[in-house]
Amino acid sequence: MSAADRMPSAAKLFAALGLAAVGWFASEAIRPLLPDHTNFGWFNQVNVVLGIICGWRVTGNRVGGTFSEAISAGLTGAIALTFWGLFAQSFNLMLAEALDKKYRGPFEGIMGIFNNAMDFGLYLMNGPVIAIILGGGIITGIFADWIAKRFA
């Protein structure tokens, strides 16, 4: 990683804020799809923080090239946000289940993370949720690229 990749920029800031918004709106779109007894806790806030991190580190580092590279950077950031969001929420559920003694050992707990992620992934297979994630990622990439070129 070069020194320029570690430097703050307006494009990284916009990418972070854009994917944070994607995380928030996707979380709000997912809530009605989950069972009524679901305890959401810090669901939205965790996804917003993950959006900030993915926007800054993934999308923000890849903008400043061609238009297609901007779209690709936005999609990459949105997919990274989705992956880490699934992992974080699945890991959190696994910890709660482990405290309830659902698992007999650490290997079952690790497998529980993957099983929970597959279950949560099925809820993501919803048109509006997919549109928010992919559309928001593309828009974030395009605008972050525009800002990178504008303030370069």
pLDDT of residue 3 exceeding 70: no
Higher pLDDT, 3 or 53: 53
Q: pLDDT tens digits for 33-52?
A: 988 887 788 989 999 999 99
**H or E stretch covering 137:** helix 127-150
| Mean per-residue pLDDT, 116-125 | 91
Task: State the pTM of this model.
Answer: 0.91
**H or E stretch covering 56:** none
CA distance 44 to 85: 10
Q: What is the mean pLDDT of the chain?
A: 92
Burial class of residue 20 (count of CB atoms within 10 Å of its CB; 0-12, 13-18, 19+): buried
Confidence of residue 15 (pLDDT cuts 50, 70, 90): very high
- Give the 3-state secondary structure of 10-36: HHHHHHHHHHHHHHHHHHHHHHHHCCC
